[in-house]
Structure 1
Amino acid sequence: MELLETGSRAGRAKHYPASGPALPWDRFSAWLECVCVVTFDLELGQAIEVRVGRARSSGWEGRPQALVYPLDVRLTEKEKTSICYLSFPDSYSGCLGDTQFSFRIRQSVGHKISMNGEEEKYNRDAPVVLQRDQAHYYGFVYFRQVKDSTVKRGYFQKVRIPSKNDKLGTSPLKQSNQENLLPAPMIIPTVNELDLFTCFQPILIHIQMLWELMLLGEPVIVMATSPTVSSDTVLALTSSCITPLRYCCDYRPYFTIHDTEFKEYTTRTQAPPNVVLGVTNPFFIKTFQHWPHIIRIGEVKMSGDLPKQIKVKKLMKLRTLDTKPGIYTSYKTFLHKDKALIKRLLKGIQRKRPSEVQSVIVRRHLLELTQSFIIPLERYVASLMPLQRTITAWKNPPQIRPFIQEEFMKTLEYAGPQLTSVLKGDWVGLYRRFFKSPNFDGWFRMRYQEMCRKLEILHLEVLCEADLLMWVREKSEVEIVDLVLKLREKLIKARVHQLPVREDLLEKLEMYMETIIDSLPDDLQVVLHRH
């Protein structure tokens, strides 16, 4: 069975009619779009399972019914096809028993719904990893494959959550006809609560390089032996490496040759896109030879108490299907390795330190490293904001100063990362490279929007405190009408986008506006009240 989430971890709240109370699923669908059961059909291949409806209340009694809940969920055929293909591990993975992994697909064109005021407010308040992404679906898969002599292929294969009557090692086809279709309580893999230490075990000594690759939004391929390792590693890289900075590039925790973006990502006519792909099919070794960074992770092998660490190798050695595990890249890091961190983690392995504790150490290191990098940028951007005393009620808000890279670079001499980080290296070179990345563009766009919003709030508060009735006495009708229209626009924006302005101030401004309208000639009053 598969859980399909809308947007990033928060999901999307659907727009329902105002009349009548919302049904339980209507509220729940703000977090979960739908639940699907995918099976393997000998004639069709992977397909959403269809059964004859039994419940009269659903209106499906005696009719074929696709096992997608809720029944009225709107998935396009393209989305259904992607879900079916991505729900099954590649045959090369050889997954027997139960397997859990996740994937991410684009929503079809015309299928996206813009955020309303409440959703925008949620995104503003939520941590980066929990903010909603309105352009993608997130799928969480529970796949079962067991031997079954009654099936022509010799195996029972289904993407489903086991019912309460299911037993490990037996085929659900042999279960009782009275099977309870409700899923048994279980934990589905999440996007933000990953065991970072386990994900990074084979590549611990290269964690500095991985952080830089994610910070710069470099194209990366993660080749693993199973979709579980593939998806967990990709999610660890993209959702945890550069927190609290948002990873603004595309990523696919599990990617196959059937993916709708296969041609787009494998073309050699242009440079590889800024995306992290998790794959398991050896076919991709040849297909992605032109990509600059390929991480091949094999089965975790122990060397004494320490997991065997994969080495950095030249891309030219990535030629055959039996290529050994390694990080195939010509990338040279800007910063030196944090040897103290590596030593601490390795000592933790020798002392049998719990994985949860090791993960906390890794997560904290990455967080502090990212903060050391981003604090100088935040400090400089804050200086671009106009002074509050320059904001008046009688003029439009002042402009935010432009971001000038060379001006920022000069601040690094006295307010750079060296104030909070002990790491040495070419920080200036790293910043210059970062400025060319989608992550910088995404970060600055978000900060610029926040500053514009702050200016709007400050200007609105100044307007609320101003004596507008005194001001309009000496103005022409044209100027007064222009003021009324602008005030109305600001009030609507404040309420729709739920700007944090005191309600009593908004009511005061609304009262001023109505008083001003009442002072105008009757014909203008009619026009303004109508519009």
Structure 2
Amino acid sequence: MTLLLLGPVTDPQGLQSIFYPGKSVIYPQHSKLTDKEKTNICYLSFPDSNSGCLGDTQFCFRFRQSSGRRVSLHCLLDHYDKDLPVYLKSLVLISKLPYIHFFHTVLKQIAPEYFEKSEPYLEAACNDVDRWPAPVPGKTLHLPIMGVVMKVRIPTCHDKPGTTQIAQLTQQADTHISVILPTVHEVDLFRCFCPVFLHSQMLWELVLLGEPLVVMAPSPSESSETVLALVNCISPLKYFSDFRPYFTIHDSEFKEYTTRTQAPPSVILGVTNPFFAKTLQHWPHIIRIGDLKPAGEIPKQVKVKKLKNLKTLDSKPGVYTSYKPYLNRDEEIIKQLQKGVQQKRPSEAQSVILRRYFLELTQSFIIPLERYVASLMPLQKSISPWKSPPQLRQFLPEEFMKTLEKTGPQLTSRIKGDWIGLYRHFLKSPNFDGWFKTRRKEMTQKLEALHLEALCEEDLLLWTQKHTEVETVDLVLKLKNKLLQADRERLPVKPDTMEKLRTHIDAIILALPEDLQGILLKTGMT
């Protein structure tokens, strides 16, 4: 097994460098992994012995970093068998960037050659990757890798399915480009939802509410793709709970996730071992799928069944749950997808339709929340340069519920049902907690930025003439802290605001006695 670690984008070297448990290699060689992380990777890097997986296969997995380390890693695995038995070869790429489709493509380029030419080829590939620029949102990149140039565009939060930016990427002719990727992170949504698209809206609700969910699949590939499709179906809302595209009985969190002494955690697990059918019987929602069909083929639609029917290891495919959806099923999207199948519409086009449907559904749900949270923002006229920035108003669930009568999702969605009940459930979920914390942080930073801009509009030099030297020095220190905060937290300030504030600070310091100027300058105040 070989591990290729891609470092954080802030690392100018890009790559960090591979490890040796037994017959393994790690690039870059100065990368650090704990024994627990190495063990998890070793077990996750091969299909379960119960999977009917033969030949080349690709899948992805996630694992939790050991305590004391910051963000969770996203791992992508590419496994090639070539002339050797399956269990002898595997190439794993580890990254903190969730660019699933892009990394799969990278591994398709380098893995076959690596298995023939060994470490020197991988070192050369790493040198290419080392020179890649940082992945700036909205920017189109040309990335060379072992004689091949890949053209990709890093997505932004404003992108929508089938947007002109993506279309332009594929239409522009470049003679030196070998591979053009319309997406770096999206999976084939329709292929993954194909067996269950009659229930796609119910699954959207389960993911939105952060419900414990298990995907039982015949292989790691089907497992990981389905889990990723579920997580992506609530975009642009971020899924804030844990999710494991491929999970095994050897995972260090196995006991934590399978204990019956407490309610199942808010996590989506993708599994292949039939043992989980028994171990996870107490979980409230289980999706059991068969082999995913190639594009253009539609498997028999699975049915919703009671959990009590999932008792044997050879249970039939189905959605095993007692969950009753809050919203009525949208028959229009089902008819549209069924018509696409009959007309042999390409899977990519079907995925765009389904992705757009999920996007509109999520936006209809989230817009009333965004509107209410925006009302918690203090008025700009209440911001005084000489007082601390005002606080956001408290989020009051019942106050929010009252706004739904006039500004609820019925304004943008044709779907009927118990929207109020869905909101009440959502407000108790990890996804709401994560979303609101993010919005609160953004709004607090906006208040800080407005406060900074209000300070810049004041005649601060005139103010110092009416105050003591002690008060003036205190002002300089506070202004400098504002600058540091703006830089550290990347506050959304206008481009000229920072420079204007530095000019104010310089002018105030120059107006002070020389001894104070020296002290402030020596302490790095300007």
Q: TM-score, normalised by structure 2?
A: 0.79
1:80 maps onto 2:54 in alignment? no
Residues 24-49 of structure 1: per-residue CA shift (max 9 Å, x gap): xx1x33xxx5567x9xxxxxxxx563
Show the counterpart of 2:164.
Answer: none
Give the direction of change, closer, same or farther, for the CA distance of 1:362–1:163 in structure 2 (3 Å limit).
closer
Deviation digits for residues 171-212 of structure 1 (CA, Å, limit 9, x no counterpart): 96xx68999556787999997221000001100100011100
2:89 is matched with 158
- Shift in Å, 1:479: 3.1
Q: Percent identity?
A: 59
Structure 1 residues 330 and 111, CA, compared in 2 at 3 Å: closer, same or farther?
same
Counterparts of 1:273 and 1:409, CA distance in 2? 27
Q: 1:246 to 1:301 in 2, by over 3 A?
A: closer
| Closer/same/farther in 2, CA of residues 497 and 164 from structure 1, 3 Å limit | closer
Q: Residue 237 of structure 1 corresponds to which residue in structure 2?
A: 230
- Assess if the C-alpha contact under 8 Å between 1:235 and 1:253 holds in 2: yes
CA deviation vs aligned residue, 1:298-357 (integer Å, no higher than 9, x gap): 23579x974201111111111111111111111100001110100110111111110000
CA distance in 2, matches of 1:232, 1:225: 12
Matched, 1:206 2:227: no
Match of 1:495 in 2: 487
Unpaired stretches in structure 1, ≥5 consecutive residues: 16-21, 39-46, 51-66, 113-134, 149-153
Aligned residue for 1:196? 189
2:446–2:492 contact (8 Å) kept in structure 1: no
Q: Which amino acid aligns with 1:209?
A: M
Secondary structure of the 1:193 match is coil
1:235–1:398 Cα change, 3 Å = same
1:121 — aligned with what? none
- 2:260 maps to 268
* Matches for 1:111-150 after TM superposition, within 5 Å: 111-112=69-70, 135-145=71-81
Could you tell me which of 354, 357, 363 is aligned with 1:362?
354
Question: Amino acid of the residue matched to residue 141 of structure 1?
Answer: L
Q: 1:155 to 1:256 in 2, by over 3 A?
A: closer
How does the TM-score come out when normalised to structure 1? 0.79
Match of 2:79, SS state, is strand
Q: Which amino acid aligns with 1:470?
A: L
SS state of the match for residue 97, structure 1? Answer: coil
Correspondence for 2:23: 49
Partner of 1:351: 343
Change in Cα spacing, 1:2 to 1:178, as seen in structure 2 (3 Å) is closer
**Equivalent of 1:12, from 8, 15, 37?**
8
Inter-partner Cα distance in structure 2 for 1:164 and 1:305: 30
Structure 2 counterpart of 1:371: 363
Q: Secondary structure at the match of 1:84?
A: helix
Offset, 1:157: 2.8
Does the C-alpha gap of structure 1 residues 301 and 324 become closer, same or farther in structure 2, counting only changes over 3 Å?
farther
8 Å contact from structure 2 (residues 235, 359) kept in 1 = yes
Counterpart residue identity of residue 286, structure 1: K
Over 3 Å counting, the alpha-carbon distance change for 1:439 and 1:155 in structure 2 is closer
1:106–1:165: structure 2 CA closer, same or farther, 3 Å change rule?
A: closer
Counterparts of 2:216 and 2:111 in 1: how far apart (Å)?
A: 36
**Structure 2 segments unaligned to the other structure (5+ residues):** 92-106, 126-145, 151-178
CA distance, structure 1, for counterparts of residue 45 and residue 184 of structure 2: 17
C-alpha contact 2:55 2:86 (8 A) present in aligned 1: no
Question: How much is the aligned-residue C-alpha RMSD, in angstroms?
Answer: 3.0
Closer, same or farther in 2 for the Cα pair 1:268/1:144, shift >3 Å? Answer: same
Aligned counterpart for 1:227 among listed residues 204, 207, 220: 220
Structure of higher RCO (CA pairs closer than 8 Å, 6+ residues apart):
1
1:107 to 45, 65, 69: 65
- In the other structure, the counterpart of 1:320 is 312
Aligned residues: 455
How far is the alpha carbon of 1:138 from its aligned partner?
1.3
Aligned to 2:377: 385
